[in-house]
Structure 1
């Protein structure tokens, strides 16, 4: 089973322009992320998929692998699918370009489900983190997921799901962490499927998979990803990098 990682890397960013090319203790954010993915030793190959010649050159000139993608894509899955169409792979893992502090343990758990899935019941897998804080549960920016007894996703929503009409019945709330591992075939199928009303309403691309019968296995993690979305995040990332590498 060949496993590859794709790091989608757009140059433009509304909140923090060109954030992936900013310096993180001597190297760009995107190069740090690429190297972190390589250093997990979980992948047969790692690629950056980008719409930017500057990011492309940054990776290639430092000995990495990159592919150019179209400027516009409707979703992250579309960008990754374009990148992997001509690459031999069985499992494709997306690694966010602005998250250089990769949690290897969670990725190992994610990949393990495919190694045990001999009958290919799983189309894609993703991560979820238990949340107990009521403010986070109610926050539409924290996407929630409900799962069946086998850990397969039933639904994702920005709303509070499930709604606790009855208290003290043991309901747990799960935040979706947007790291995915796809079977390549499921990823390529996605691009040929139309966006339906649920996806359009919630603005959550994973609902397209569910609406068309794809099975998403959710894997529990206790690690929240550390992304760089603002200049403040970058400052904190530099401090964390120094702490981890001192």
Structure 2
């Protein structure tokens, strides 16, 4: 069986929320919540945190995580994960964002299972239907449109396919609108290849690195999930997540 490794890239520097990986939520750092959820995966052989910061390393070791120190010069979490792939023996790698404390381990397993069952697929990710028009037009969220076999045609920060509020609420066009959920699976060989590719024109225009793969002609399988990702990117996000945890006590 193909060995799958979950990698959680975590960095200290953040423009909008410096040090967010160590932000306290219910007495634990944010990255610990992510790790404890991700490691519930039944199909992953290992789950580790990749960082370039000694403070994060020490915090992760304190709660028992495997930690790998990586180069401080990576431009993205995928690049950091590619370094992990050069130093580990996985065949499938899953990138779980280090700022999503409610990550669904079943969503992780969905991608691992797909990669194991379809050896020709090099890369996978997730989508979920939009529940409101306001969410659909939110410029901070990424969208994906797919072909009939659920391979990505395009990812964008713009509302695609374009539609009015009336169309969204009363027509079948709504069925074409999907939010991109940013958990990725890679086959090891393609992950290393991807990290060597220069950023592509569309990737730079949209600020979405998965477009690098599409522009290179690589098909990305997109599976549907019910997982609603909640990320911590701003101080307001952090307070919202703290409130959600408090209500779950």
TM-score of the two chains, using structure 1 as the length reference: 0.90
Structure 1 pair 233–188 and aligned structure 2 pair: CA distance change class (3 A):
same
**Which region of structure 1 is more displaced relative to structure 2, 103-112 or 173-182?**
103-112
Give, in angstroms, the shift of residue 27 of structure 1. Answer: 1.9
1:87 alignment partner in structure 2: 88
Contact 1:7 1:97 in 2 (8 A): yes
Q: Distance in 2 between the 1:169 and 1:22 partners?
A: 42
Give, in angstroms, the shift of residue 211 of structure 1. Answer: 1.0
**Which region of structure 1 is more displaced relative to structure 2, 15-24 or 226-235?**
226-235
1:200-233 deviation per Cα after TM superposition (whole angstroms, max 9, x unaligned): 2111110110111212100111221122223333
- Structure 2: which 5+ residue stretches go unaligned? none
Q: Distance in 1 between the 2:13 and 2:123 partners?
A: 28
* 1:207 aligned onto 2:211: yes
Contact 1:121 1:215 in 2 (8 A): no
1:11-40 deviation per Cα after TM superposition (whole angstroms, max 9, x unaligned): 011111111112222221112222222233
1:46 alignment partner in structure 2: 47
1:233 alignment partner in structure 2: 237
1:51-85 deviation per Cα after TM superposition (whole angstroms, max 9, x unaligned): 10011111123322111122232222111111221
Give, in angstroms, the shift of residue 169 of structure 1. Answer: 5.6
2:125 alignment partner in structure 1: 126
Q: Distance in 1 between the 2:177 and 2:23 partners?
A: 35
For residues 19-30 of structure 1, what are the structure 2 equivalents within 5 Å? Answer: 19-30=20-31
Q: Distance in 2 between the 1:104 and 1:47 partners?
A: 14
Q: Distance in 2 between the 1:121 and 1:40 partners?
A: 23
For residues 3-152 of structure 1, what are the structure 2 equivalents within 5 Å? Answer: 3-117=4-118, 120-131=119-130, 133-152=132-151
TM-score of the two chains, using structure 2 as the length reference: 0.89
Q: Distance in 2 between the 1:76 and 1:39 partners?
A: 21
**Which region of structure 1 is more displaced relative to structure 2, 42-51 or 233-242?**
233-242
**Which region of structure 1 is more displaced relative to structure 2, 131-140 or 78-87?**
131-140
Count of aligned pairs: 242
Q: Distance in 2 between the 1:157 and 1:79 partners?
A: 23
